[in-house]
Structure 1
Amino acid sequence: MNDNTSIPSRRLDPQREADEPVLDPAHDSNEPAFEWMTASPATSFTEDAPSHGAAANRSAADDGAAHRSPGIGEPADGEPAGRVQAGSRADRKAAEAAAANGPSDLPPDAGAPPSGAAPGAHYSEQLPTSALQIRPPREDVERRNAEREQAANAKPVLPRFMQVVLAVFYPVILLVLAVRAVTSPLFLWVEYHRPGFPGDGYGFNSDDRMTYGSYAVDYLSNWSGPRYLGELVNRNGEKLFQDGEVSHMADVKVVILSAFGAGALLVLLSIAVIIYLRRRSSGGVRRGLFAGSIVTLTLISALAGLALLGWEQFFTEFHRIFFASGTWTFALEDTLIRLFPGQFWIDAGIAIAGLVLLTALVTLILTWPTRRRRGLPKRAKKSRTGGGAEAESGAQAESGAEVGEDRSVRL
């Protein structure tokens, strides 16, 4: 059975040869059915002459577009119909904003596409949206950098103040501890039994002095009232201490307890300062104790010099500072003078100064600012000048070679 249906002239004939060109219906302007496949005049431009049907449709489209604003991708009035605006709407807004703000200070290649972008791609730099993207003047930048470096290099004030506090507290603490060591029965025993200590011309032996003297020393550090000494009697049943002596010992007790209390308070404050310096300042404790030991040595040396120049004057001025005039002078037969003669106070002063000096010297040695304690690198050994070192190394190398040769020969 044969198909005699005629083939339209514009359709593809399967019987045609393969090398004959194929007609594309999309480019046939006389086919209204395929007009939707052709490019719009607003987005493309062709040199082919429009047909009457296409011209009619285009005129109708132009009449409708006259009453509406141009859309995205459409040309504005007076712009050629065949030109297409490249880029997105955000790009066009950025370009319009840049044109409205005047000439830009950006470099000529600011709008160039980044390396690796596809050819023909549009690239626009992001516009500044905040003050953080505005670079401050050079003078402000330099000034801020200088202030930052100065603040980083400046040492904190509080740690240095704490070091000064520790240096001031240290000699006072050492002095109070030395006084506490002297006002003890142990020191009394050493004094009363040491060779050369003057005896009592009124009948007290070493045992009597140790017994009665221990009462007097214990009274200075306990919380008992004046009756602790006022009601003591000797072997004959007489009062051991007179009222004037008891009153003076009460005054001494106030001074001693005040000194012990101040020393305990300074110890607690010093512990707090040491804890702070250990956390906030590397080597701060060492520097504070080192300075305190120097202050202690200076102070004790000055006091020892004054005592050596005139002990009687020094002893008198010391009592005038803490006691009222006339309350601390007694007769030779009074119990306080018999228990604590002048030599006792000289030995007590030497013991206090010796303990303080010894402790300060040990502290000075332990806190001496060596390079290792300061965290500095060790100094390199100085090399010999000239070619002496090189000659010596060369001689050692030669001797080593000779030894090697001898060993090789012997082996």
Structure 2
Amino acid sequence: MSDKTPNPSEPDVEFDDGEPAFEWMKPAAAKAAPEKVPSASPADSAEPAKPAAAAKSGAAKSDAARPAKQPESRADRKAAEAAGATPEPSLFAEPLPTSALQVRPPEAEVARRNAERELAANAKPVTPRIFQVLLAVFYPVVLLVLAIRAVTSPLFLWVEYNRPGFPGDGYGFSTDDRMSYGSYAVDYLSNWAGPRYLGDLLHEDGTKLFKDSEVAHMADVKLVMLSAFGAAALMVVIGIIGMLYLRKRSTGGIRRGLFAGSIATLVVILALGTLGVLGWQQFFTEFHRIFFANGTWTFSLDDTLIRLFPGQFWMDAGIAIAGLVFLAALLTLILTWPTRRRRGLPPRKGPASETGTEGEDADDAEANGGDAVAGGAKA
């Protein structure tokens, strides 16, 4: 290569001026920018400057005339309202409070709503009340059945046959014979044996101890007794379930149910006892007519049932049943009496009496408390 050979011209090298090399790498603002126009002389650019200035002033006026943009958040709207600007209504903006929501309802409507709210707040559940009523109803029946079961036992027979004044048998039964044959009759009422349990019993001479009519009547009595025992057992089960429920859901519910049941029991026993004292024979007859058909429970004096269970036996049995039920109901009434401690109320302080016990009753102490304090101040 000689000196005369012309040097190849170096390629034009463009230096990096910070702009992307490709069009798609340019920012959006750069793409939207208009192309540069070669600068013109001042004389040529004087006239086009006026329309540009006019366009800019028109755009400024239109921007000023356009209402302010709706703030995006509640805090921005509050700030705009405080600044005196009227926000532009937006489709998705939170609705402002209206006058209809700020209007207070009539006083009668307000009173009705408050009354319904108070009624709903003070309303008590129905289930605890139902179980309390069931306890009060079942308690007398269960006590009566238990007392009857205690009387229909060999122990009560032994007490009756050996007590002084009990009438003897004028047809030849000794006390031991009565105790033996009477135990068979009492056991038949509480077991699951058939009528042959009594029908196959024989005298020493080989004759039947009980007639067919007597065996039939004892079968009727057994049906009534077993039905009563079954009903009482069902009531006990329901009562236990009710007490378990009341123990968890109603404080004092068991006590209130048993208290009401004891009062009902005492009323029933006193009423029946009064009827029995006024006319025992009439009371005994009407009692049998309720459970047995006429003609199936009357026997002659020489029949075995009458010799084993004379009229005095049934009178003593009635007294024993009434006494047991009365004592149990009275004890329950005492144990469930609604004292302040059992009701969960604080004890009231009253003036001590001479015996060292608390003073007057709660209500009397409250009524006379002010006078006592005034008298003490005067003294």
**Is contact 1:220-1:249 (8 Å) kept?**
yes
**Is contact 1:75-1:85 (8 Å) kept?**
no
- Aligned residue number for residue 190 of structure 1: 159
**Is contact 1:176-1:259 (8 Å) kept?**
yes
Rounded Cα–Cα distance in structure 2 between residues aligned with 1:296 and 1:368: 15
2:52 to 60, 72, 81: 60
Cα–Cα, structure 1 residues 256 and 387, in superposed 2: closer, same or farther, change >3 Å? Answer: closer
Rounded Cα–Cα distance in structure 2 between residues aligned with 1:56 and 1:145: 78
Rounded Cα–Cα distance in structure 2 between residues aligned with 1:332 and 1:198: 13
Deviation at 1:61, TM superposition (A): 5.9
Rounded Cα–Cα distance in structure 1 between residues aligned with 2:46 and 2:201: 141
Task: Say if 2:313 is the partner of 1:364.
Answer: no
Deviation at 1:146, TM superposition (A): 2.3
Task: Say if 2:204 is the partner of 1:235.
Answer: yes
Task: Say if 2:94 is the partner of 1:76.
Answer: no
Structure 2 SS opposite 1:377: coil
1:252 to 191, 203, 221: 221
**Is contact 2:153-2:186 (8 Å) kept?**
yes
Rounded Cα–Cα distance in structure 1 between residues aligned with 2:124 and 2:111: 22
1:341 to 310, 323, 329: 310
- Aligned residue number for residue 311 of structure 1: 280
Cα–Cα, structure 1 residues 181 and 55, in superposed 2: closer, same or farther, change >3 Å? Answer: farther
Deviation at 1:302, TM superposition (A): 0.6
After TM superposition, what 4+ stretches of structure 1 lie above 6 angstroms from structure 2? 52-56, 84-88, 109-112, 120-124
Q: CA RMSD in A?
A: 3.5
1:2-81 aligned at under 5 Å gives the runs 59-60=51-52, 62-63=54-55, 76=62, 79=65
Cα–Cα, structure 1 residues 123 and 302, in superposed 2: closer, same or farther, change >3 Å? Answer: farther
Cα–Cα, structure 1 residues 222 and 59, in superposed 2: closer, same or farther, change >3 Å? Answer: same
Deviation at 1:54, TM superposition (A): 10
2:124 to 155, 162, 165: 155
Deviation at 1:233, TM superposition (A): 1.1
- Aligned residue number for residue 281 of structure 1: 250
Rounded Cα–Cα distance in structure 2 between residues aligned with 1:292 and 1:195: 36
- Aligned residue number for residue 290 of structure 2: 321
Cα–Cα, structure 1 residues 64 and 297, in superposed 2: closer, same or farther, change >3 Å? Answer: same
Deviation at 1:297, TM superposition (A): 0.7
Rounded Cα–Cα distance in structure 2 between residues aligned with 1:58 and 1:274: 101
Output the amino acid matched with 1:128: P
The answer to which structure, 1 or 2, has the higher relative contact order (CA under 8 A, 6+ apart) is 2
- Aligned residue number for residue 388 of structure 1: 376
Scaled by the length of structure 2, what TM-score is found? 0.71
Structure 1 SS opposite 2:62: coil
CA distances 1:354-389 after superposition (whole Å, capped 9, x unpaired): 011011101111111112222223224336344635
Deviation at 1:158, TM superposition (A): 3.3
Cα–Cα, structure 1 residues 312 and 59, in superposed 2: closer, same or farther, change >3 Å? Answer: same
Cα–Cα, structure 1 residues 165 and 58, in superposed 2: closer, same or farther, change >3 Å? Answer: farther
Matched-pair identity in %: 64
- Aligned residue number for residue 205 of structure 1: 174
Unaligned stretches of 5+ residues in structure 2 = 1-43, 88-92, 351-368
Rounded Cα–Cα distance in structure 2 between residues aligned with 1:205 and 1:143: 81
**Is contact 2:209-2:304 (8 Å) kept?**
yes
- Aligned residue number for residue 138 of structure 1: 105
**Is contact 2:68-2:86 (8 Å) kept?**
no
- Aligned residue number for residue 128 of structure 1: 95
Output the amino acid matched with 2:143: L
Deviation at 1:266, TM superposition (A): 1.1
Rounded Cα–Cα distance in structure 2 between residues aligned with 1:280 and 1:55: 97
CA distances 1:16-74 after superposition (whole Å, capped 9, x unpaired): xxxxxxxxxxxxxxxxxxxxxxxxxxxxxxxxxxxx999966842653786xxx7xxx6
Query: Of Structure 1 and Structure 2, which has the larger fraction of its residues in helix?
Result: 2
1:95-106 aligned at under 5 Å gives the runs none
**Is contact 2:301-2:307 (8 Å) kept?**
yes
- Aligned residue number for residue 376 of structure 1: 345
Deviation at 1:234, TM superposition (A): 2.2
Output the amino acid matched with 2:290: I
Rounded Cα–Cα distance in structure 2 between residues aligned with 1:143 and 1:342: 68
Unaligned stretches of 5+ residues in structure 1 = 1-51, 96-108, 114-119, 392-411
